[in-house]
Amino acid sequence: MRIATDAVLFDIDGTLVDSTPAVERTWRLWAEAHGVDPDAVLAVSHGRRSEDTIALFLPDDRVQDAADELEELELADVDGVVALPATGEFLGALPDHRWAAVTSGGRRLMRTRLATAGLPVPGVLVAAEDVSVGKPDPQGYLKAAAALGYAPERCLVVEDAPAGIRAGVASGATVLAVATSHERSALEGLGAVAVVDDLTSCALETTPDGAVLTLR
Which residues are identified as catalytic?
11, 13
Q: For residue 174, list its beta bridge partners.
A: 156
The letter for the amino acid at 15 is T
Q: Are 210 and 4 in contact (CB under 8 A)?
A: yes
Distance of alpha carbon 19 from alpha carbon 84, whole angstroms = 9
DSSP H helices in the chain: 20-33, 38-45, 50-54, 60-75, 87-93, 107-116, 139-148, 162-171, 184-187
Q: Which residues of 18-45 are buried (b: 16+ CB within 10 A; e: fewer)?
A: bbbebbeebbbbbbeeeebeeeebeeeb
Q: Are 143 and 150 in contact (CB under 8 A)?
A: no
Q: Are 141 and 157 in contact (CB under 8 A)?
A: yes
